[in-house]
Amino acid sequence: MNIASVRRPIIPPAPPRAPDDMSFFGRLAVIRRNMIATWGQPAYEEEVIKGRFFLRNSFILNQPDAIRHVLLNNYENYTRTPAGIRMLRPVLGDGLLIAEGHSWTFQRRTLAPAFTPRATANLVPHMTAVLDETIAKLDTQTGAPVDLREIMQRMTLEIAGRTMFSFGMDRHGATLRNFIMEYASRLGRPYFLDMLLPVSWPSPMDFARARFRKRWTEFVAMLIAERRAAGKKDGAPPRDLFDLMDAARDPETGKGFSDEQLVDEVATMILAGHETTATALFWALYLLALDPETQEEVASETSGEHLDSMADIDRQKFTRAVIDETMRLYPPAFLVARAAREKDNAAGVEISKGDIIMIAPWLLHRHEKLWDQPNAFIPKRFMSTEAPDRFAYLPFGAGPRVCIGAPFAQAESVLALARLIGAFRVELADQANPVIPLGVVTTQPDHSPMFRITRR
């Protein structure tokens, strides 16, 4: 794709490429800190990279046809990886993200109506209410250094809480974030035996994960009980995601979710949704602070707009392009991994049973054969009539297991960015210390930089 640009685009920071001679143990040490730093230059140039890791073959696929085969044409042959299941099951249980086979089909078709763009449009008032409050709070912090990453995390959690339960997270938000931090800092990271043992053999860390799971599910069940109680008291509660999920019935069998399943679905939606969206918004604000001209273009697009409905959000074409380009350069889900059930041929790539397939949006989105100026921040590339190949741009995955929350996340992030940049000019308080992305569960910044905001 060729992009005509009048000025030189910025090249935002990225980890250095791994040296060709990185040893097995060197890689193992780096994986826990930053998976992105284990990928060397060939991973940004080659279509397929075959390797061996923990007694299994692994493939990095950068070839859109092969990716289409794995994620779409023969998706049933590919499951979540044993390490992925081990790490996610304690927090997500058997919810939609982890489920496989009939259980997944039942959950996906039962939940689908609650996540359509139309259903999402009904949730926009919850989002705008949280944004009004966030902007009012930020108004008291203009001029002083602010940690916009933390503010984005709190804001997206608040939006997740209100859209899910119609109540604020003022009482439970801190506990919820403590659960997440506790899990992400230790139990959610891969250890040597996690990668080596089959899922049916507990690793030493699995015992601590099981204890965590008990406390976590009790907490989510308590949130659900509070929501049910509030629903009964009010008589007519406002429509929220919980309402939709509780009433959801499988269109084929008429079956709904059991109480235990509902706990897993609620946990999945809150966790899968809020940290990823906060990450996308953080990187968008960081990029706009590095690129004031682009920031002004976002501000001028939003000027005079009310921005409180889906139709208003849909009109923000440039802001949407900034979000799309942010998720190209810093895809919150930097890796989508699968294990092959049976042998297969993916557009010429011979795959054996048990092989690990890595489709890394981080690599794919910066691949030198797929993108013009792959490392530069050029939002307008997403406004060109020449759309990128569907299987070369995968911030939300693709195929039947594509992110169910994508319309929600897109609406929320475009709305939030437009409202925040419409209200404030955003700069970095410390220009000297570049923020380096770390691939650990999501594409996190290595530190939270301080920003300075001024009212427009």
Question: By CB neighbour count within 10 A (0-12 exposed, 13-18 middle, 19+ buried), where does 261 fall?
Answer: buried
Indicate the SS3 state at residue 141.
coil
Residue 215 CB, shortest distance to ligand HEM, in Å, is 22
Q: What are phi and psi of 337, to 5 degrees?
A: -115, 150
Whole-Å CA distances, 42 to 13, 19, 242: 19, 10, 46
Binding mask 406-425 for ligand HEM (x = CB under 6 A): --xx----------------
Question: By CB neighbour count within 10 A (0-12 exposed, 13-18 middle, 19+ buried), where does 6 fall?
Answer: exposed
Binding mask 106-145 for ligand HEM (x = CB under 6 A): --x-------------------------------------
Does position 268 interact with ligand HEM (CB under 6 A)? The reply is yes
Residue closest to ligand HEM, measured at CB: 405
Does position 357 interact with ligand HEM (CB under 6 A)? The reply is no
Contact 244, 114 (CB under 8 A): yes
Identify the residue among 35, 96, 299, 417 touching ligand HEM (CB under 6 A): 96
Identify the residue among 123, 151, 159, 404 touching ligand HEM (CB under 6 A): 404
Residue 176 CB, shortest distance to ligand HEM, in Å, is 15
C-alpha–C-alpha distance, residues 440 and 188, integer Å: 9
Please, which of residues 299-338 interact with ligand HEM by CB under 6 A? 332-333, 336
Identify the residue among 61, 87, 97, 349 touching ligand HEM (CB under 6 A): 97
Does position 405 interact with ligand HEM (CB under 6 A)? The reply is yes
Contact 57, 356 (CB under 8 A): yes
Nearer to ligand HEM, 18 or 441 (CB): 441
Question: Other C-beta atoms within 10 Å of 368: how many?
Answer: 14
| 358, β-bridge pairs | 60, 337
Identify the residue among 13, 113, 397, 434 touching ligand HEM (CB under 6 A): 397
DSSP secondary structure letters along 39-93: -BGGGGT-SEEEEEETTEEEEEE--HHHHHIIIIITGGGEE--HHHHHHHHHHHT
Name the one range near ligand HEM by CB under 6 A: 123-131, 172-180, 208-216, 271-279: 271-279
Does position 439 interact with ligand HEM (CB under 6 A)? The reply is no
Nearer to ligand HEM, 339 or 403 (CB): 403
Longest CA pairwise span in the chain (Å): 65
Q: What angle do CA 258, 182, 323 make, to 5 degrees?
A: 80
3-state percent helix, strand, coil for the chain, nearest multiple of 5: 55, 10, 35
Identify the residue among 61, 269, 364, 418 touching ligand HEM (CB under 6 A): 269
Does position 396 interact with ligand HEM (CB under 6 A)? The reply is yes
Please, which of residues 170-229 interact with ligand HEM by CB under 6 A? none
- Please give the annotated binding residues for heme, written as ranges: 403
Chain residues that interact with ligand HEM, rule: CB under 6 A: 96-97, 108, 268-269, 272-273, 276-277, 280, 332-333, 336, 395-397, 401, 403-405, 408-409
